[in-house]
Structure 1
């Protein structure tokens, strides 16, 4: 896929406690372990065992031996957090940051994360680093972000190494260094990070090592990571020569699309709009996929959709709609969209007047996110 970015999504570790809870039922002692059956763990949680409440919330958060359910994750995590369970405080901060259970609140995300940090929770340090790198509840500050990632990495948090790898790759808060990015990703993989497997594949792709890229993307795709499945489909579509390779590309795209993930729709849009060895150009399909992804908030699709409206590709030229989509993409942190807005507001056009204030606004935003 062209112009890929590297995700720094932090998957909060479950960090399941090894202790158990006891409650009495019909004069029998029942013991709950973190990975017991869901009904059994729920019974412990309902009996107000804090560790079980935390573990149950974590399982629903990550979809481990339970369906992924952010509403239930929020419910049980909040119960444990309000009773002072440190790991639950950290997870509750994360849930507030992503709007788990429909309760997005960046201020509360920071408050709960800092509560956990005060008690020395290492996962919370990594989460706070992510918040600083994305401007969630705090101004974007890449140096602070790296500092918090490093604290967590020093204590063995795999995803902190993964996010440090992204920082070194892009030169955000540290000097750009591809070798260090590779080293950090490998440390993250050794520590169990699946996201790092995906990003390692993308780093190899960015430096032209396509065999290594496909190897690692396939490993991540086989773990059902939708981003890897979509990118692997794109990578194979670029190089496929045999019918078997072409079929594999199609299968990975189908698997990614089946997960109803915005990034997969954006990837499909690119594959049907740009020449490759597998997917024939079909602008109708591409537009439909871009629109699906854009409406779900995927910033790359929003940018590409805006460009189509700006240029009049497949759809009638509509500068006003184009600017609306550029603004949405730029507000989601898409650098290309912000640059295009600066150009538009500086030069003006038939339907968009010059606007010095808006130009300066996006220049100031661009300085922060670049």
Structure 2
């Protein structure tokens, strides 16, 4: 889980013990042992400000040994988001789009929180909105809108931390989905994607395959058989895909 790894250690050190007191108090309360619950709740000291509510949400998300930990994570995250806390909005976008642990994806909530976060030009929000429009989930499929949202996602990302948006832009530019076919853009987007070491082997193999084709055919730039061959070889290593075999055999005679 990677939505807030930078915050995880600091937050767990600060409030991990308090979280456990809160859970104990809630268990007493659920069992009708109100006196014991009251004592534990006093010790737990519930969050009094929006940033602490967010921190509690983060901490609960990582406390997998606690029953219903994601229920409480979402409860505190949503409390923080209802007050316009941007980090909470962004985290909820990822939670609801991708699903996590026992919680399945909820595309309606993902859309709602993504719209809120997008007001602040949040790159994750733009990425998820782009996915929803591209895939036609909760909203009507709209490839043109998806294309523009993917572009906004990479424009607003810090240190280009939305590599998959580059991949999708490359595919859409190459295939003419939501935009006109543009091999120059496709080549640029694919090259940016593989330079980010994204970790999605199938997508990375696909990007290298199309870069191989474009270098072989001179699409979006000069023809370069050496590069084409290298892209095909690496694509096959990433995906073990037989589609590269023909090109590898034929380009190997020319390099």
The two structures have a TM-score, normalised by structure 2, of 0.60
Distance 1:216 1:279, change over 3 A: farther
Would you say the 8 A contact 1:149–1:164 is kept in 2? yes
Structure 1 residues 201 and 273 mapped into 2: Cα distance closer, same or farther (>3 Å)?
Answer: closer
| Alignment partner, residue 75 of structure 1 | 9
Q: Is the 8 A contact 1:128 1:145 kept in 2?
A: yes
Q: CA deviation at 1:90?
A: 4.4
Match of 2:119 in 1: 154
1:141 corresponds, among 85, 106, 110, to 106
Residue equivalent to 2:228: 245
Which digits, 9 at most, give the CA deviation of each residue in 1:124-175, with x for residues without a partner? 2233233333343545432222111101101221210111111111111111
The structure-2 alpha-carbon separation of the partners of 1:155 and 1:240, relative to structure 1 and needing over 3 Å to count, comes to closer
What are the within-5 Å matches in structure 2 for residues 294-309 of structure 1?
Answer: none
Cα distance, 1:249–1:147 mapped onto 2, change above 3 Å: same
The aligned residue for residue 70 of structure 2 is 106
Residue 215 in structure 1 maps to residue 188 in structure 2: yes
Structure 2: distance between partners of 1:252 and 1:91: 41
Aligned partner of residue 247 in structure 2, secondary structure: coil
Local SS of the residue matching 1:169: helix
**Quick check: 1:74–1:101 contact (8 Å CA) kept in 2?**
no
Which stretch shifts more, 134-143 or 171-180?
134-143
Tell me the equivalent position of 2:95.
131
Contact 1:194 / 1:220 at 8 angstroms: preserved in 2? no
Is 1:74–1:100's contact at 8 Å kept on the other side of the alignment?
A: no
| Backbone CA RMSD of aligned residues | 3.9
1:230 is displaced (CA, Å) by 3.4
1:10-53 per-position Cα deviation (integer Å, ceiling 9, x unaligned): x64xxxxxxxxxxxxxxxxxxxxxxxxxxxxxxxxxxxxxxxxx
The answer for unaligned runs of 5 or more in structure 2 is 19-46, 217-224, 251-255
For the 8 Å contact 1:232–1:249, the answer to whether it is kept is: no
Count residues in correspondence: 200
Is the 8 Å Cα contact of residues 63 and 69 (structure 2) preserved in structure 1?
no
TM-score by length of 1: 0.44
Instruction: Name the counterpart of 1:171.
Output: 136
3-state secondary structure, aligned to 2:248: coil
Specify whether residues 220 and 124 from structure 1 end up closer, same or farther in structure 2 by C-alpha distance, changes over 3 A only. Answer: same
Question: Which residue matches 1:278?
Answer: 248
Q: Structure 1: which 5+ residue stretches go unaligned? A: 1-8, 13-57, 63-72, 255-266, 281-370
Q: 1:91 to 1:217 in 2, by over 3 A?
A: farther
Higher helix share: 2
